[in-house]
A = this chain, B = another copy of it.
Amino acid sequence: MGAVTSTMNYQQVLEQIAEEIARTPGRGRSADYIPALATRDPRAFGMAVAELDGTVHGVGEWREAFSAQSITKVFTLALDLAHEGDELWEHVGREPSGNPFNSLVQLEYENGIPRNPFINAGALVVTDRLHTRTGDAAGGLLRLLRAESGNPDLGFDLAVAGSEAARGDRNAALGHFMASYGNIDNPVPLLLDQYFRQCSVTASCADLALAATLLARHGVRADGTRLLTRSQAKQVNAVMLTCGTYDAAGEFAHRVGLPGKSGVGGGIIAVVPGRCALCVWSPGLDERGNSVAGVAALDLFTTLTGLSVF
């Protein structure tokens, strides 16, 4: 990180990125498996950088709300780690999956223990455990995101949650399968309801960049209290870097070199430990489910600023 100056002009960097992205022709396709995602323009684009003190810079549609989807898995993981600590790692692994994000093959080989908390199976386990401990996994997530983003209007999109539930057979299969190994405590239908509500959170780049500063501050919340130990924050960042972008984590580490987490709504958050957090949004996805313009924008960000961990 030698090239970084302390007075970096994030706004200028964001505008340079937006210009470059605007010149790029291809942009992938919006997720089309539920109506709410399919209707978003694949070329929409927004990006925000939040500094540790809560200052936010943005460009494009950085205040536009979108479906956070799997990005929320980072925060559910943080909440559960805060509640139960390392015991979680006996029920979900910390290794990249080497398989697409909802594969049952791996689960069968490893007796119902998902490889990491960001594949769907792993996120179900984390939600299950958090729900057992708090009685309200989805509600707790929403409270955390509202507090960290400073946006009390953040909410679930129950139409999205309903659409997911209506086509939720794959996740139901994962849930029942892990339950058959004793790795799920709650009834599967109840668990799925919690899970789909979490995924349906609607938030903007500004909201999510601010929320992600939790991890840039090594686990300290916006109000100065500590949610995670420094070691736990490091764990979450490490899992983001190695497992945060489905089957493309290696390529993401190559190109971007930051802990990051993507969602099929087209959003990606990224963390520069000790410096800032980012969120970029553009609904057009590549064939592995990551935002095409989003990855390109983060690539440009680390190239322009030198803010990569490598």
Contacts and interface: CB of A to CB of B under 8 A. Distances in A.
Interface stretch (A102-110, A141-149, A198-206): A102-110
A177 B170 contact: yes
A237 interface: yes
A309 B249 contact: no
B93 A95 contact: no
B257 A253 contact: no
A224 interface: no
A94 interface: yes
A115 interface: yes
A97 interface: yes
A108 B105 CA distance: 7
A250 interface: yes
Contact of A169 (B97, B180, B233, B254): B180
Copies of the protein in its oligomer: 4
Contacts of A235: 254
A154 interface: no
Interface string A206-242: 0000000000000000000000000001110111011
A21 interface: no
A75 to B, nearest CB: 17
Interface residues of A, number: 52
Contact of A253 (B1, B98, B242): B242
A155 to B, nearest CB: 28
B238 A253 contact: yes
Nearest to A182: B169
A289 to B, nearest CB: 14
A248 interface: yes
A179 B188 contact: no
30 contacts: A1-B274, A95-B96, A95-B98, A95-B249, A95-B250, A95-B251, A96-B242, A96-B249, A96-B250, A98-B98, A98-B106, A104-B108, A167-B180, A169-B176, A169-B180, A170-B176, A172-B173, A173-B174, A173-B176, A234-B254, A234-B308, A235-B254, A237-B257, A237-B310, A241-B241, A241-B253, A242-B249, A242-B250, A242-B253, A243-B250
